[in-house]
Structure 1
Amino acid sequence: MRPADALCLCLDALRGHRRRSLMLLLAIGIGVLAVTLLTGLAEGARGFVLAEFSLLGRNTLIVLPGRKETTGGVPPLTGLAPRDLTLQDAEAIARLPAVRRVAPLQAGQLEVSAGGRRREALVLGTSREFFAIRQLQVSQGQPLPPLPFGQAEAVCLIGAKLRRELFAERPALGEWLRAGDRRFRVIGLLEERGESLGMDFAELLIIPVASAQALFDREGLFRVFAEVRGPLLLDSGKRQILALLRERHEGEEDVTLISQDSMLAAFDDILGALAMALAGIAAISLLVAGVLIMNVTWIAVSQRTAEIGLLKALGATPRQVHGLFVGEALLLALLGALAGLLLGELLLWIARLLWEVPLRAPLWARLGALLLALATAVLFAWLPAAQAARLPPVQALRPPGAR
């Protein structure tokens, strides 16, 4: 039997049992679609998180007050409150040889009002260096003036959404607004950027860090951003900052230092494992489809004994008969898998347009789903096909009542 003849027989058998073929196509297609969508969502989340953290730059270190580490026990309830990070700490860090620029941060929620309009907003106190470290652009006006960390000034920058809600269509540059019990003059408008690392820049009010300390009546800093002079100085910069703060904090290492690489590695590992777990869960549906393939192939063998007998009477070998039934299952699996892949890619493309998130199934997931669908078809169709190959031609040609 020529391969072309075998293919024609497989196609005729599939066309002759349209409902059964459609059911198997649907089962395989849903399994592959599930793998594509779930891994695409996981990979999209991974890409989004990594892109967010990459905005910090490879040379940026984040200093947090308190030692964040896992010991396995219950955390102490009293007596071990972390020492605050102060503006003096930030100034000392800025004087280190490996450090290029430093941006202290103070943050809190306050009611902001202008011209009778009011709303809650995130107020961020920082310095001019924050704009360079976080790659933050100004669409109109100017960034914060280059003030000493300890100098307060009644100036601010606002995000695009906050500007619309406070000033509507009126120009905002040069106008005054009230945050808490203090007034600030708008000197700049932030470029629209959306949310980054949990901070929505469109709703942000940025003021000098000393002004924020007075506004919140709080001396301790939320965190400190420090940018070293190059990737090769990252490790030495970490050591210098930790040694400096240990010396300033009476010999205690009571801060946590986070680099972009450590955050990226941690999130990459977590989200990579999540993608593999989701792919495994989705692959279970392909195993269910395999059981369906086996059951349908058993039924097909019992219904097509006369056809099997005729093929053998015409000279078909058991191996060729076995290959016909396995080939039918493989053809169905291939068509169903391709349909599932195409539908999955279409849905991910639509999601990318709607949400602007990099939702893409990785190549290993697409190839793995296709290969798993084909392997499932072969595995679960093998035994029924073997039974068909063992049928004697004379017995297969007898009427059902005479066997």
Structure 2
Amino acid sequence: MRLLDAIGYALAALLRQRQRLRAVMLLAAIAISVGSVVMMTALGQGARNFVEQEFSFLGKDVLIILPGRKETTGGMPPVTGTSLRDLTLADMAHIQRRIPHLRVAPLVLGASEVKFASRNRQSMILGSTAEIFATHRLRLLRGKTLPDIPLESARPVCVLGATLAQELFAQANPLGQWIRLDNRRFRVIGTFTSESSNMGLKFDETVLIPVASAQSLFNAPGLYRLFVQTLTPQDLAAQGSLLLQVIAERHQGVADVTLLRPDSLLATFNEILFTLTLAVTGIGAISLIVAGIMMMNIMLISTHQRCAEIGLLKALGASNGTVRRLFLCEAMLLSLGGGIVGLLVGYSAVVLLAWYYPDFPVQVPLWASASALLSAVVIGLLFALLPANQAARQKPVESLKGSHQ
């Protein structure tokens, strides 16, 4: 019997009224399994994409220096250190003198009530320099960036994030207006925007002021972070080692700071999320095995109920191999059909999720779709092998005799 004839015969057998309900049950079981695998991997890949987007606000050539030193033996780098020594503007100036081919942006972080006329809003206040526009990829919308003044000079000027400017001034032009941060007045000299949430910190809702002004406002002599961007193509590891040596020159020979690289952080996150994606995909694949066991049980019952059909096929000259192929073709059609339906269901759920949560970049990896469909077919054929062999071993006379009992 040709393969096309075997497939046609198997399809006709599945569409019989007696077999139709079983076929629908198996299709549903396989479709749910494949759909769950697609959804699991889509969520895992979406998490990886989200992390990559959140880290995209810093380029791969930016290093982050945190005050305090914490040794690690692997895994995620620390977020804070343990030293009591502050990271200061003098340290920043020393780095700029010793390594002139760097762009260095300080950061002082605090929260304050921002007031204009009768409007007020609680917001994050960032003290920095104009270099933060380059290191964090901020885009100036109108006006000017932070002024190029000595680091120790405090000026009552600020640059507002676009969202905050809209909330405070509505359609009015904010340039030249005075706002209050706590009890201090600052003149608005510009507005800016950011396309990233910067790991949860929405720059569009912040206020940028000179670093010395922020230190005075929050009584903070030390810096929260230093962002260092290389202006020449160099190995980041070597550049990081040089930075630690330069800082040690000012800290009694001890590099008591923590150096973070966004690319290494991203690689660590990707490794963790990929492992989690494989784990949840494995959990989803267990449902495929359950569907395969269900297929085997139903086909075992079917071989007993189709004794007459098997006996007639053998009486007409069908070999054991032909009968086996017929049953395996049925399993293949069920597995393939269920897999395709499962992919459609999974992709539909992903589209719905992307529409409902547009900020979460959910995505189905191509390897996940292909693996889920291939696994469904392979598992279906493997679990159908036992019923197919049992049907092939039946003798024609006994099968016909058993069908009349």
Separation of aligned partners in 2, 1:165 and 1:178: 15
Task: Give 1:1-400 correspondences, 5 Å limit.
Answer: 1-16=1-16, 17-70=19-72, 81-97=83-99, 99-191=101-193, 193-354=195-356, 355-400=358-403
Separation of aligned partners in 2, 1:344 and 1:4: 30
Separation of aligned partners in 2, 1:312 and 1:400: 14
Corresponding residue SS for 1:120: strand
Letter in 1 for 2:193: E
Q: Which residue of 1 aligns with 2:77?
A: none
How far off is 1:227 after superposition? 0.7
Separation of aligned partners in 1, 2:379 and 2:60: 45
How far off is 1:141 after superposition? 1.6
Number of equivalences: 395
Corresponding residue SS for 1:118: strand
Alpha-carbon contact 1:181-1:215 (below 8 Å) kept: no
Separation of aligned partners in 2, 1:192 and 1:251: 38
Alpha-carbon contact 2:67-2:83 (below 8 Å) kept: no
Separation of aligned partners in 2, 1:367 and 1:96: 54
Letter in 1 for 2:124: L
Alpha-carbon contact 1:194-1:202 (below 8 Å) kept: no
How far off is 1:307 after superposition? 0.8
Letter in 1 for 2:145: P
Alpha-carbon contact 2:58-2:136 (below 8 Å) kept: yes
Corresponding residue SS for 1:128: coil
Separation of aligned partners in 1, 2:108 and 2:219: 11
How far off is 1:194 after superposition? 4.8
Gaps spanning 5+ residues in structure 2: where?
75-81
How far off is 1:257 after superposition? 0.7
Letter in 2 for 1:13: A
Change in Cα spacing, 1:98 to 1:305, as seen in structure 2 (3 Å) is farther
Separation of aligned partners in 2, 1:145 and 1:107: 19
Separation of aligned partners in 1, 2:191 and 2:106: 21
Separation of aligned partners in 2, 1:174 and 1:314: 97
Change in Cα spacing, 1:269 to 1:87, as seen in structure 2 (3 Å) is same
Letter in 1 for 2:339: A
Alpha-carbon contact 1:102-1:227 (below 8 Å) kept: yes
TM-score norm. by structure 2 comes to 0.93
How far off is 1:170 after superposition? 2.7
Change in Cα spacing, 1:68 to 1:353, as seen in structure 2 (3 Å) is farther
Separation of aligned partners in 2, 1:175 and 1:194: 27
Alpha-carbon contact 1:67-1:82 (below 8 Å) kept: no
Separation of aligned partners in 1, 2:189 and 2:93: 25
Gaps spanning 5+ residues in structure 1: where?
73-79
> Alpha carbon RMSD of aligned pairs, Å?
1.8
Alpha-carbon contact 2:138-2:194 (below 8 Å) kept: no
Change in Cα spacing, 1:237 to 1:4, as seen in structure 2 (3 Å) is closer
Letter in 2 for 1:364: W
Letter in 1 for 2:36: A
Alpha-carbon contact 2:307-2:402 (below 8 Å) kept: no
Kindly provide the CA deviation profile for residues 191-214 of structure 1, in whole angstroms up to 9, marking residues without a partner as x. Answer: 253512221122111111111000
Q: Percent identity at matched positions?
A: 47
Corresponding residue SS for 2:234: helix
Alpha-carbon contact 1:329-1:381 (below 8 Å) kept: yes
Deviates more, 1:374-383 or 1:230-239: 230-239
Letter in 2 for 1:27: A
Letter in 1 for 2:13: A
Separation of aligned partners in 1, 2:375 and 2:100: 52
